Amino acid sequence: MKIFLVEDDLEFGRALQSALQDQDHKVVWVRLAAAALQYLETESCDVLLLDLGLPDGSGFDLLRQLRGQGLSCPILVISARNSLEDRLDGLDLGADDYLIKPFDIAELLARLRAVLRRTQGLREGEESVWTISDLSLDNRRKVVSVGAAEVALSKTEFALLHALMQGADRVLTRGELEDRVLPHSEAQTLDIHISKLRKKIGEQRIRTVRGVGYMMRPQPAA
């Protein structure tokens, strides 16, 4: 695995680079946001590990810029910032996971394997476009529309809607949705994302099955 590490702390960066290399991963390490942007203009990676406190800018701003430029590789935020707001911001800006420092290398490796499994792309033969009533999701183009109007969703909201539309014929439990879209998050995080998603696609499209989970309605309730 080729890992691109953006981390300004020398001691922590060296230890993390060494631990990952001991697991036979190739690690490219930079300490500045500007260096990360320059590297990714011409090079690629399998996964990006991103610290938020960088000397020349915010990791959130770098994350926003990279996703805005079309960077599609998995991004795992590694940060000592442990508030729910910071974690939600990271996920909404396009991070695939958020790991709070300090952490064990075994947990980091497990998270890396998980994000790679979730983001490895469409499996051969997997359906690309999902439609329920006038709601459409194109997984290949990453576009959601209601009628003729496109709807802007965060990466997490898109993944959540995709999961719900794939399983539209049944109730998806909270555990299923959290495992697929929000692993390692607190329980209330799912409800927050569901609420945001409802506001964007229509309040009545997602049905709450109390005590179980959520499911898509075949058409918006009147």
Q: Sort strands 53-54 and 57-58 into parallel, antiparallel or unpaired.
A: antiparallel
What is the arithmetic mean of pLDDT over 39-55? Answer: 92
If one counts the domains in the chain, the total is: 2
3-state secondary structure of 70: coil
Burial class (CB in 10 A: 0-12, 13-18, 19+), 124: exposed
- For residue 103, the one-letter residue type is F
Residue 199 belongs to what domain range?
Answer: 129-216
Mark whether 46 and 84 lie in a shared domain.
yes
Residues 26 and 114 both lie in one domain: yes
Tell me the pLDDT tens digit for each residue of 88-109.
889 888 898 899 998 999 999 9
Q: What is the pLDDT of residues 59-85, one digit of tens each?
A: 999 999 998 887 878 899 999 998 988
The pLDDT of residue 56 is above 80: yes
Rounded to two decimals, the pTM is: 0.60
Spatial separation of the C-alpha atoms in residues 168 and 147, rounded to whole Å: 19
Pair 35, 113 in one domain: yes
Are residues 64 and 57 in contact, defined by beta-carbon separation less than 8 angstroms? Answer: no
pLDDT at 221: 53
Query: What CATH code is carried by the domain that includes residue 169?
Result: 1.10.10.10
Say if residue 122's pLDDT is above 50.
no
Whether 105 and 8 map to the same domain: the answer is yes
pLDDT of 185 reads 60
